[in-house]
Amino acid sequence: MTGKLAQEMLTGDVVRVAPQGRLDTFTVPEFEQILTEHLDAGRARLVVDLADVTYVSSSGLRALLSARRRARAAGGDVALCNMAPRVREIFEMVGFVSLFGIFASVQEAADAFSLDVSART
């Protein structure tokens, strides 16, 4: 995946991470490293934009689950968006659609973090 992973800071300390292509056992370590770097730096509101992802293997699911656990422990979360039907099918097969917040767009995912903050204050 080297060089094919976009990242950007959105408003409200939300970070968008956008992997591309296949999230298989070869490409997942780099993706996981990016998520870990953000979490290590205290950035726990992560939006994973799956618009350009064609496949997620079990190692990709494990990486997302692990990141979500850490993010939630730090008061944040990992939200997913722009999931293609094929990728959604993978999440459905293992019941992961009930674990993650899944949104139609980056904006909706980012807004969910803002709403979450409003609800707490």
Partner 1 sequence: MVDERTLTAPGRFESLAQISDFITQVARDAGFDEDGVFHVQMAVDEACSNVIEHAYGQVSGDIVLTCGVDEAGDLRIDIRDSGTRFDPDSVPLPQVEVGKVDLDDLNIGGLGLFFIRKLMDEVTFRFDAESGNHLTMVKRRPH
Interacting positions 53-82 with partner 1 (CB under 8 A) = 55, 57-59, 61-62, 65, 68-69
Q: Residue 34's Cα: distance from chain center in Å?
A: 11
Q: Is 88 a residue that touches partner 1 (CB under 8 A)?
A: no
Q: Is 117 a residue that touches partner 1 (CB under 8 A)?
A: no
Give the DSSP per-residue string, 43-58.
--EEEEE-TTEEEE-H
Q: Which is nearer to partner 1, 8 or 72 (CB)?
A: 72
Distance CA 104, CA 81 (A): 5
Q: Would you give the DSSP letter of residue 62?
A: H
Give residues in contact with partner 1 (CB under 8 A).
Answer: 22, 24-26, 55, 57-59, 61-62, 65, 68-69, 86, 89-90, 92-96, 98-99
